[in-house]
Amino acid sequence: MPAPTPRLLAISLLATVVGVAAAPAHAQDSERSDRLTLRLSAFNPEAQLRFTGDGVATNGTDTEDFFASETFDVGSKWRPRGAFDFRMSDRQSLVGNYYDYERTNAWGFDGDWLNPGGLLEGIDLPDDIPTDPVQVPAVDLSGKVKFSLASLNYEYSVVSTEAFEWGLGLGVTYAQLEARANGSWTATDEIDAGDAEYQWKKSGWSPGLHTRLTWRPTDQWRVGVEGQYLDTEWGDFLDERGHFERAGLVVEYLINDRIGVHVGYDWFRLKLKDDYSARFEGAADMDIDPVDVNGQLGGQLKVHGPMAGVTFRF
């Protein structure tokens, strides 16, 4: 059976919401016998990586402000996702979530010829900068981004009625970030062939905030909205300043008392920032004062997409 497309999931979700809104509002919460709800889903997230940098550069006499940004669409891929809800009492629950994102991309450059003298025409160049065309090697690059997150939250229902619940909670979140890049280049008359590898990996724990709204308009239908938030300075997740936000929507139809199906949409974002400083010295034979740079670097990983799966209630 082929995986449902994002457009099909979106249409199904819209039809489900319309059907729920048109249904009579009644539920029998008092007759609920389930203690554990388990949702197993297929999640099709798209991801974006955004990098920003701003700062001030000065040579002691002149000062210049600058800002730069770049956004990369990493693409989408089906991933497993899981969630559970264990009811300890009518108002108390343990809520868990797990999801991840993993994507590998590759880029290639076939090589070319570059004329530095032509690009810098009119500028008095040092003798060691060539004015004739030079060969730029062919380059192959590959990169991998991986992100996984698991959370466990204690939730207390501030509002609890037959058809509607609103819960607030505290919990812990475990997150893991990994980035890897590999590159290789061919030989030219000026340089030898070579390769390089870069890998960065970080994981840790952090306390977090949690909230959830649940609407049960009929015995068969469930509509839930869930949100999470954590600050990276609360735990040992990352040294950089930043925060994590998540929001999710799930619409569920119970086929019987124990089994149901659901569709939904999940969104989360990790934003990081850090201060930096650097000094650039001019070449010995060039009359250029050192340039001091101070600023802030920022990064953002945003992941969002539809999901669909099966619900089990025990």
CATH (domain of 93): 2.40.128
| Pairing assessment for the beta strands 36-43 and 46-58 based on DSSP bridges | unpaired
Structural domain contains residue 152: yes
Place of tokens 């037959």: 162
pLDDT band at 127 (very low <50, low <70, confident <90, very high): low
Maximum average pLDDT range among 94-108, 127-141, 193-207, 242-256: 242-256
Instruction: Determine if the pTM surpasses 0.75.
Output: no
pLDDT surpasses 60 at 23: no
Maximum average pLDDT range among 17-26, 49-58, 264-273: 264-273
Range of the domain at 95: 34-101+148-172+206-313
Structural domain contains residue 191: no
Residue type, 78: W
C-alpha–C-alpha distance, residues 221 and 232, integer Å: 36
Q: Quick one: average pLDDT of 125-131?
A: 53
C-alpha–C-alpha distance, residues 253 and 259, integer Å: 9
Structural domain contains residue 38: yes
pLDDT surpasses 50 at 24: no
Structural domain contains residue 163: yes
Structural domain contains residue 122: no
Check: CB of residue 259 under 8 Å from CB of residue 314. Answer: no
C-alpha–C-alpha distance, residues 266 and 251, integer Å: 12
What confidence tens digit (pLDDT) does each residue in 110-119 have?
Answer: 666 555 544 4
pLDDT surpasses 60 at 285: no
Number of domains present in the structure of the chain: 1
Strands (E), the chain: 36-43, 46-58, 63-76, 79-87, 92-109, 112-114, 134-136, 139-160, 164-185, 194-215, 221-231, 241-254, 259-280, 291-313
Structural domain contains residue 131: no
Structural domain contains residue 72: yes
Structural domain contains residue 287: yes
Q: How far is CA 148 from CA 143, 177, 187, 193, 310, in A?
A: 17, 7, 38, 36, 21
pLDDT surpasses 90 at 144: no
